[in-house]
Amino acid sequence: MTPMLPLIILAAAAQLAIGAEFRASAVKIDITPANVQPLLGYGARNSTGVHDPLFHRIVGMDDGSLQFFLVSTDIALTSPSVFDDFCRELKKETGIDSHQIWWTSTHTHSAPEVGPPGLPQAFMPDRYKHQPDWEYANRVKRSLLDGIKEARAKLAPARIATGEGFAMANINRRARDVDGRIKLGLNPYGPADRQIGIIRLERTDGTPIALIANYAIHGTVLGGANTLISGDAPGIVAAYVEEKFHAPLLFVNGAAGNIAPIYSGYPDFRSAHITEFNVLLGDRILEALNTLPKATAEVSLRTSGKIIETPRKTGLGWTDDLAAYTRTGSDGGNLVRLPVRFLSINSDTVIWAAPLELFCEIAINVRQQSPFRHTFFFGYTNGWLGYLPTKQGCAT
């Protein structure tokens, strides 16, 4: 049994009694920069314009005992220290604790950096000679603070429904060459997680509040030659679904560490087939809505967390802002301290989240062993601490 599964069971086994009326809300905030920005992902490059806007999309939920906020932001990633700083400000201004907020990144590689680079600076020091654009980083954090306040103020009676869909918009990206070496590529024979996790929030009259779609796919339809700001496939698909659903779609990436879009690395939008993802993934999300069970207003939410320690790759440096996320073991080896978070929704749904690019086999294995009807993994959550491969993946 994977060591992660008992943690999930522990996190969700005890349910709070369903009490007050369930409430929910959604907020969408434009965070598209107006000036030139260094883009995160690939080599060093600056933006030359905007193809499509970037957003915070925020969902608030309240079961009468717990308020919980989920955020999906059209950026590649942030350092966990950015999340920690944000949580301190959020607590000061609103009283909301860090366990009540998950801040996920869609992982588009065509969006600006936000704050200090964190771990990427440790293994790509030549890439980060410049200072962060603090004006933009502070704008991103300020708008998120205001957005959560707005979402809290807008909480209203609601219902929730959970289910799954399926899409073949992704592919394994670890391709083996004739010499046995693994390189980034397209591997149709490799494992891929093609489940879409779906959560629909609606008002008591049935009109939509928001949709949460969880799918594993790198935001790399566009390659390093592109310098136009974009949400890449996750942002394009979200906008497409929103037009038809008439409410915000929070795209939450899954275990995409070894997963690419089936079209990947194109130099421009014309050649990237990017609107085809509206069919490959967007229409599959919309189809899944038709299979959801009847929504319920009887909702119990529970959050918990666990620090899991794993060996740090030999020779990998560290940055000062991540001091809280490492320690030296008794044998003198360096360990990474990974914060894993859990959210249970009633007795049938569990979501686990981590600041990782998880290999998809791990998420699939946890889901297959989970006693819950719906089990989702939210990646790129509350920062980024690199890749977590399988043992076999480490060997290759």
Instruction: Indicate the residue type of 162.
Output: T
pLDDT above 90: residue 390: no
pLDDT above 70: residue 211: yes
DSSP string over 122-180: HH-GGG--SPP-HHHHHHHHHHHHHHHHHHHHT-EEEEEEEEEEE---EEEEEEE-TTS
pLDDT at 393: 74
Higher pLDDT, residue 3 or 197? 197
**Which region among 23-32, 71-80, 118-127, 376-385 has the lowest average model confidence (pLDDT)?**
118-127
Report residue 316's pLDDT band, with 50, 70 and 90 as the boundaries: confident
Mean pLDDT of 207-223: 98
Report residue 313's pLDDT band, with 50, 70 and 90 as the boundaries: confident
pTM of this structure: 0.94
pLDDT above 90: residue 129: no
pLDDT above 50: residue 19: yes
* d(C-alpha 245, C-alpha 86), whole Å: 31
Q: How many CB atoms lie within 10 A of CB 266?
A: 18
pLDDT at 4: 54
pLDDT at 395: 60
Instruction: Indicate the residue type of 269.
Output: F
* d(C-alpha 251, C-alpha 104), whole Å: 9
Q: Which are the contacts of 374, defined by CB distance < 8 A and separation ≥ 6? A: 162, 163, 164, 197, 348, 349, 350
Q: How many CB atoms lie within 10 A of CB 356?
A: 24
- What is the four-CA torsion angle of 363, 364, 366, 368, rounded to 10 degrees? 160
Mean pLDDT of 363-373: 97
- Pick from 356, 396, 257, 393: which is nearest to 4 by CA? 356
Kind and range of the H or E element at 288?
helix 283-289
Mean pLDDT of 203-224: 98
Q: Which are the contacts of 219, defined by CB distance < 8 A and separation ≥ 6? A: 41, 76, 106, 107, 108, 109, 110, 231, 232, 233, 234, 235, 253
Report residue 15's pLDDT band, with 50, 70 and 90 as the boundaries: very low
Token readout for 12 is 């969700």
Mean pLDDT of 283-298: 97
Domain range list for the chain: 4-395
DSSP string over 33-83: -SS--BEESSSS-B--EESS--EEEEEEEE-SS-EEEEEEESSS---HHHH
pLDDT at 127: 87
DSSP string over 205-249: TS-EEEEEEEE---B-SB-TT--EE--HHHHHHHHHHHHHHSS-E
pLDDT above 90: residue 308: yes
pLDDT at 18: 56
Mean pLDDT of 26-30: 98
pLDDT at 396: 63
pLDDT above 70: residue 205: yes
User: Residues of the chain with pLDDT > 90: what percent?
Assistant: 86
pLDDT above 60: residue 278: yes
Report residue 160's pLDDT band, with 50, 70 and 90 as the boundaries: very high
pLDDT at 392: 78
Q: Give me the numbers of helices (H) and strands (E) for the chain, helices first please.
A: 9, 22
Instruction: Specify the pairing of strand 249-253 against strand 301-311.
Output: unpaired
Please, are residues 231 and 109 in contact by the beta-carbon 8 Å criterion?
no
* d(C-alpha 215, C-alpha 210), whole Å: 16
- Pick from 111, 89, 83, 68: which is nearest to 382 by CA? 83
pLDDT, tens digit (0-9, with 9 covering 90-100), for 166-202: 999 999 999 989 988 999 999 999 999 999 999 999 9
Mean pLDDT of 119-143: 92
pLDDT, tens digit (0-9, with 9 covering 90-100), for 223-259: 999 999 999 999 999 999 999 999 999 999 999 999 9
